Amino acid sequence: MAAISDFYQDFDIVTSKSDTKERNYTMQMTQEFLEYHPNGDSGAGPISDNYMFTPNGSAFPVSKSVGLEIITGKLVTEIRQFFYSDVRAESYSYRIISRLYNTPDGYDKSLLCRHIEQQYRVGPLELNREAVIRTQTNLRTNKRIFTDNNGYQMQIRDFKTYDNNTVARIMLHRRLWNNLEWDLNYNLTLNDTSVVRPTLWLMIGSKTVTSSLYQRMGLSLEHRPLVMFIPFKGTSATEKMPSVPIVLPPNIHLQILSVPGWSYSSNHTEHIHNLYKGDRQKTAADFHRVLLRIQHLYEADEDPVLSKPASVNLKAFLVHLKMFKTITWFSLAGLFQHFSAIHSLFIRLLAVVEISTYLTYTPNDT
């Protein structure tokens, strides 16, 4: 078992609304890789497959020895842990790389200095193994746990009775085979010898602070920056960038800005009629149209500020594109409104996380 503690001892914890430092809090945490040994004979009892998790008893520890490396830096510190099945083993099947980020003064610290980034390495597994990471802390949870399993809304979940009620287990990888005819016919056995490297962020803070950050941090984790090196020729790209950056409100997420957008009738009945007629000309890609999709991230009452409705000035947001002359606005339900001769348009999104807004506009060629 590997113990990780005092992760936040030397890092400033900053709220998302001001630069005021909170009182440093030391959270003691232990982590351990475990493996379940599921049954592979459908005649001998329940089996696990793509859709079912039915372990055959308790999970077993996978390591008897742990190697540790710590690499410190001004911007990031890495704690590398290697889990070996035996003290004499030369190779490992499990690894954790924990990263702590430090943002220099003068930069926004709200998203970087609030979490621990952990990247796991698991596999290849032996046959009929299900690998989990068990995390145990000294936090008092009052036996309540919330998850956003549907990707949007936090929901309270039933707790399991453990000796310590602050235990969380996350499934990382599975390799399964069973003789159930249905699974064999439809390739649902998951006999996978691959190596997986999932990344998770562990965040600590008050309910108020974490509620305001977790949506934006989730997007930052999902859409991590891609750094590419290309040959440099001519004028620097930074010289062509606008002096004032174009930003959306912090509770609004840009999902799609696509060129070209597709061309179709805003009348659903007419559009379906054109498809049945085989009139592909009216549904072909139109390079004079752009599809813009934006989404409100927060539910009502989730945050006192970020849950409020937000307005987006489309003219300012699309200032570097050509002047547009028509806009068609779609709600998630497919309802639409059509605007013509637009000079300035604000769109207002309500604080309901399921609502997304689609906009297509036609730039003016003149």
pLDDT of residue 97: 95
State how far the Cα of 236 lies from the Cα of 160, in Å rounded to an integer. Answer: 58
Residue ranges, comma separated, of all CATH 2.60.40.1360 domains in the chain are 246-363
- At residue 272, φ and ψ (nearest 5 deg) are -65, -40
CATH of domain 2-222: 2.70.98.30
Q: What is the DSSP track for 210-278? A: HHHHHHHHHHHHHS----------SS-GGGGS-SS-----TTEEEEEEESSEE---SSHHHHHHHHHHT
State how far the Cα of 336 lies from the Cα of 271, in Å rounded to an integer. Answer: 14
Write the pLDDT tens digit of every residue in 23-51.
566 778 888 999 999 998 988 888 888 88
Of all residues in the chain, what percent carry a pLDDT higher than 90? 19
Average pLDDT score over residue span 304-313:
86
Residue ranges, comma separated, of all CATH 2.70.98.30 domains in the chain are 2-222
Question: Taking all residues of the chain, what is their mean pLDDT, rounded to a whole number?
Answer: 76
Write the pLDDT tens digit of every residue in 312-339.
887 777 777 666 666 777 666 555 555 5
pLDDT of residue 352: 44
Closest CA to 245 of 154, 306, 319: 319
Q: Report yes or no: 101 and 113 within 8 Å, Cβ to Cβ.
A: yes
pLDDT of 117 over the 70 cut = yes
By CB atoms closer than 10 A (0-12, 13-18, 19+), residue 257 is middle
Total number of residues shown for the chain: 366
- Residue with the bigger pLDDT between 130 and 8: it is 130
End-to-end CA distance of the chain: 68
pTM score, whole prediction: 0.72
- Residue with the bigger pLDDT between 122 and 208: it is 122
Of all residues in the chain, what percent carry a pLDDT higher than 70? 68
pLDDT confidence band for 13 (50 / 70 / 90): very low
**Arch. (CATH architecture) of 246-363:** Sandwich (2.60)
pLDDT of residue 146: 76
